[in-house]
């Protein structure tokens, strides 16, 4: 990316003490194998500091728990599978059930309400914010990973979807990132920028070329690769956040990628769920004692031949979008290896929420099948039910189908190959993990304003193969759906509906409601949730007819 002008540094002054200071020559010294032992010994303390890892966080958008190969899916994801085979997979990792809140929690290490993103983004907000839990952009009482790692000597880079602040001064380069390319807004056409959406290159608006060469997923991968190529060769470590829009609707993919999957889904969603569930059990991802949740879809055999063909095409395009994203992940990893940094780079891969039940129909040319730029369709609830195998519900809800995410951790210098962990983690933990491995402190104030204490806890002990002292409780709230988890107990409500209680060790598919048989545990968790909600500024839920649907 040497042809792109450097971005001015963030104007936020961070009062942040740094644990580690690295002499610029040390990274060179540690790569010279024949350096005399006496010199190495003299520089031993600083050399250890120079081993701080690069950090790469890669996130998919609206991807179900079981979609990728290493979590039971049939979609061809060799590069993610390879990271899993040589790294660590979490079986109980959580997001916040929706794109904006998850991105806010990832970036800040806070529950999204504390960062100002309890709901969705405010497209019109231009000010510094009022510190409202639902203001719709990051507030001034939170710190981004970029703002924390930059003073610690990291180059901080991002390629992809932002979606936590639509207007200046709320863009990535306003919140600490040195370099940025991507989509400032939410869902967008993959072949062009929709009206009302924004893309940016550094701190300026960006318009993709109109010659048919632009495809959002490839562009995000291209810039990520360029950033690694440039900054991976420097003396300082780098942090790179790659936020794909795939496989979020609209269903857009290259024809050759779609063709690879045409016809593979003619067996229907019932068969797909059963096949994935069997592989997940065999691979140790889920427990065989947890029944597969009830089908929440039309019976496939009741569909006409034409309907089956149309649904097969939708799922084929969806699979093609994940396939293309995996290809981009492979290119990024290959470039990290090319600059000699793969051994000491922590790579984390996750999803921002579960598979999406939404069904927008906004095609510019009605009747256009999914895939090309004139179409604007989604794969719908029926296939999302399969994406979230074996769990209930979808994106937006905080039952397991909405909040369960793959998490792959690859770090050859630290993480042992091919392991699974059942230890529980949450997206708020990623900021704490980055600070921990980078040796950076977290400030109490910035520009004289107090910074909320971190809600997250570092995952580093888990990455090192140790037992972590986890969270006493975890909390969720989004648009009235709410949950609290304590150990294996989970209390959950859908959009103001009845509170349900589950023992996740025996019933993670949430089919056996124990609220009436264990009223004391229900009341204990409900009291804890209400105390957290009051402290955090969570709105009381509104009753909704929707909670009767999508069981």
Assigned CATH topology for domain 26-463 = Alkaline Phosphatase, subunit A (3.40.720)
What token pair was written down for 124?
A: 């019109």
Tell me the catalytic residues: 99, 163
Q: Is the pLDDT of residue 371 over 60?
A: yes
**Residue 36 has what pLDDT?**
37
Residue corresponding to tokens 């710190």: 143
> CATH class for domain 474-548?
alpha beta
**Residue 127 has what pLDDT?**
59
Domain range list for the chain: 26-463, 474-548
> Which residue, among 276, 251, 234, 500, has the nearest Cα to 385 in the 3D structure?
276
Contacts with 206 (C-beta within 8 Å, 6 or more apart), sequence order:
181, 199, 200
**Residue 123 has what pLDDT?**
80
Q: What is the DSSP letter of 70?
A: G
- Taken in order 407, 411, 416, 418, the sign of the CA dihedral is positive
DSSP three-state, residue 239? strand
Mean pLDDT of the 246-273 span: 98
Query: Looking only at Cα atoms, what is the longest distance across the chain?
Result: 77
Q: Is the pLDDT of residue 14 over 60?
A: no
Q: Quote the percentage of the chain above a pLDDT of 70.
A: 88
What's the whole-model pTM score? 0.90
Confidence tier at 16 by pLDDT (50, 70, 90)? very low
The angle subtended at Cα 339 by Cα 335 and Cα 342, nearest 5°, is: 75
Domains 26-463 and 474-548 share a fold: no
Confidence tier at 208 by pLDDT (50, 70, 90)? very high
520 CB burial (10 A radius; 0-12, 13-18, 19+): exposed
**CA 223/CA 43 separation, integer angstroms:** 36
The angle subtended at Cα 492 by Cα 523 and Cα 428, nearest 5°, is: 110
* HEC string for 248-303: CCCCECCHHHHHCCCCCCCCCHHHHHHHHHHHHHHCCCCCCCCCCCCCCCCCHHHC
Element (H, E) at 481: strand 481-486
């Amino acid at each position: 990316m040497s042809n792109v002008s450097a971005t001015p540094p963030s104007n936020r002054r961070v009062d942040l003490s740094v644990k580690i200071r690295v002499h610029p020559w040390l990274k060179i010294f540690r790569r010279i194998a024949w350096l005399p032992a006496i010199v190495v010994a003299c520089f031993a303390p600083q050399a250890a500091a120079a081993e701080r890892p690069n950090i790469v966080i890669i996130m998919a958008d609206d991807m179900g728990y079981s979609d990728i190969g290493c979590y039971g899916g049939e979609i061809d994801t060799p590069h993610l599978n390879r990271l899993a085979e040589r790294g660590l997979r979490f079986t109980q990792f959580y997001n916040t059930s929706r794109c904006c809140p998850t991105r806010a929690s990832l970036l800040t290490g806070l529950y999204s309400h504390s960062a100002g993103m309890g709901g969705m983004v405010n497209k019109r907000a231009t000010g510094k914010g009022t510190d409202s839990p639902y203001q719709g952009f990051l507030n001034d009482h939170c710190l981004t990973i970029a703002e924390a790692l930059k003073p610690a000597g990291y180059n901080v880079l991002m390629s992809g979807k932002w979606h936590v602040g639509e207007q200046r001064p709320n863009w990535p380069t306003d919140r600490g990132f040195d370099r940025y390319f991507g989509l400032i807004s939410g869902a967008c056409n993959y072949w062009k920028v929709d009206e009302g959406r924004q893309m940016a290159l550094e701190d300026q608006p960006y318009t993709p070329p109109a010659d048919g060469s632009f495809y959002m997923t490839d562009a995000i991968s291209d810039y990520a690769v360029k950033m690694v190529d440039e900054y991976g060769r420097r003396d300082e470590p780098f942090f790179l956040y790659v936020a794909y829009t795939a496989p979020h609707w609209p269903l857009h993919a290259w024809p050759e990628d779609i063709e690879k999957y045409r016809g593979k889904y003619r067996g229907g969603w019932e068969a797909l769920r059963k096949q994935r569930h069997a592989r997940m059990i065999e691979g140790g991802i889920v427990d065989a004692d947890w029944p597969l949740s009830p089908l929440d879809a039309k019976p496939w055999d009741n569909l006409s031949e034409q309907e089956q063909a149309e649904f097969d095409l939708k799922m084929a395009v969806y699979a093609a979008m994940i396939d293309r994203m995996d290809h981009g992940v492979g290119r990024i990893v290959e470039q990290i290896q090319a600059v000699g940094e793969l051994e000491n780079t922590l790579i984390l891969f996750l999803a921002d929420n579960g598979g999406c039940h939404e069904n927008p129909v906004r095609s510019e040319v009605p009747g256009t099948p999914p895939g090309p730029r004139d179409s604007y369709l989604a794969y719908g609830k029926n296939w999302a039910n399969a994406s979230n195998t074996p769990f209930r519900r979808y994106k937006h809800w905080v039952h397991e189908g909405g909040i369960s995410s793959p998490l792959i951790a690859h770090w050859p210098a630290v993480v042992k190959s091919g392991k699974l962990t059942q230890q529980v983690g949450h997206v708020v933990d990623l900021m704490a993990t980055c600070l921990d491995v980078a040796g950076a402190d977290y400030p109490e104030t910035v520009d004289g304003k107090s910074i909320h204490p971190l809600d997250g806890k570092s995952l580093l002990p888990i990455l090192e193969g140790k037992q972590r002292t986890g969270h006493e409780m975890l909390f969720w709230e989004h648009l009235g759906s709410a949950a609290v988890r304590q150990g294996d107990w989970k209390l959950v409500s859908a959009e103001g509906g009845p509170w349900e209680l589950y023992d996740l060790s025996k019933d993670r598919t949430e089919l056996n409601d124990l609220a009436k048989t264990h009223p004391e545990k229900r009341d204990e968790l409900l009291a804890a949730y209400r105390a957290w909600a009051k402290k955090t500024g969570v709105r009381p839920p509104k009753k909704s007819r929707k909670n009767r649907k999508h069981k």
